[in-house]
Structure 1
């Protein structure tokens, strides 16, 4: 059995779609999953990237794309009333249900669906209170322990090479994005390609891009 670490942030529609599609995409494979909330904004800042919604043309495409992907794969999805929004309350509420930084699939499902199926305002105080009441919390969502856990999980993801979500880590290999699920499935099924030169040497070549500090 392979163990997958699923790095996620509830702000990402692609993470939501990947979460919903994961059981179907990996059907027939032997695996377990650790669902690990991280702060996407911190990942992007570390790697010097803008989020898709920070580029107007890409924002328009992203929202149309995820809505199309939802209907194409039979996954209910409605855009939140505001997006991007501040995902910290949702991340902290989820982490408050766990003692070690990983959350259950049920908790991930509850939070993802609250954001991506209602079409409402994610940051509404009444909605957040109702979400909190629906979760069995072990820790104070606003406490230092939860805040430190989120930072530690995000820092650990960065150290492992995670640059965005959804990201799936297995055997030290990273698979990124909703469309990366097909590649992850092939790896879990033991495709020989992953032991060949195309995986190992794909990035072993010089680049003509100049470093930002030169």
Structure 2
């Protein structure tokens, strides 16, 4: 059985769509999933990248695109009243929800629905209080232990060469984005395209393609 580490940030509409679509996308395959909340802003800073919502024309396109994707996939979806927002409180709450600091699918689902269903402000204090009461966290979300674990998850993501969310790491391979789900399924199903004897012409060769412009190394 393959094991997937799903790196996510609740601020990302694509992470929400991928989360909702994952079970159906991988139906019939044997796999396990560990959900790791990470601060997308930290990943972007590490790689000297602007956030998608920091480029005005791109921001408008993304909001149109994700609403269309949700419509086309029949996934309930409402833009929150304010976006982007600082997701740290939600990330820490997810980690604090379980004693080991690893949220299960129900915890992640509850927070994703808090953000992406209903169209309310994700950080409205009364809603945060209600969400916290629902999850009944095993730890203090504002404790240093929780903050340190969130940073460790970000360090894990960076070490795995994760640069954005959603990202799915399995066997050292990172599949990025909602639209990577079919590729992830193909790998888990044993598609020979991913076979070791094809590595030089497919997966590994991509990083060795010469660039005509200087590339920044984080």
Deviation at 1:112, TM superposition (A): 0.2
Query: Which aligned segments of 4 or more residues in structure 1 are displaced greater than 4 angstroms?
Result: none
Matches within 5 A, 1:30-41: 30-41=30-41
Q: Partner of 1:76 in structure 2?
A: 76
- Note if 1:28 corresponds to 2:28: yes
The 5 A counterparts of 1:27-176 are 27-176=27-176
Tell me how far apart the structure 1 counterparts of residues 144 and 21 of structure 2 sit (CA, whole Å). 33
Report the Cα distance in structure 1 between the residues aligned to 2:24 and 2:193, rounded to whole angstroms. Answer: 23
Cα shift at 1:161: 0.2
Q: Secondary structure, in 3 states, of the residue corresponding to 2:210?
A: coil
Q: What does residue 178 of structure 1 align with?
A: 178
Q: Quote the residue 2:204 is aligned against.
A: 200
SS class of match (2:100): coil
TM-score calculated relative to the size of structure 2: 0.95
Gaps of 5+ in 2: none
**Aligned residues: CA RMSD:** 1.1
How far has the Cα of 1:212 moved from its partner? 5.5
Q: Distance in 2 between matches of 1:125 and 1:49?
A: 30
SS of the equivalent of 1:5 reads strand
Residue pair 1:36, 1:101 contacting (<8 A) in 2 also: no
Task: State the 1:211 CA deviation.
Answer: 4.4
TM-score by length of 1: 0.97
Gaps of at least 5 residues in structure 1 are none
TM-aligned CA distance change 1:33 to 1:180, over 3 Å: same
Structure 2 distance, partners of 1:137, 1:131, is 10
- Cα distance in structure 1, aligned partners of 2:45 and 2:165: 13
Q: Paired residues, what number?
A: 213
2:160, 2:151 → 1: CA distance? 14
Post-superposition Cα deviations, 1:32-75, rounded to whole Å, max 9, x if no partner, equal 10011000000000001111100000000000000000010010
1-structure distance, mates of 2:170, 2:133: 33
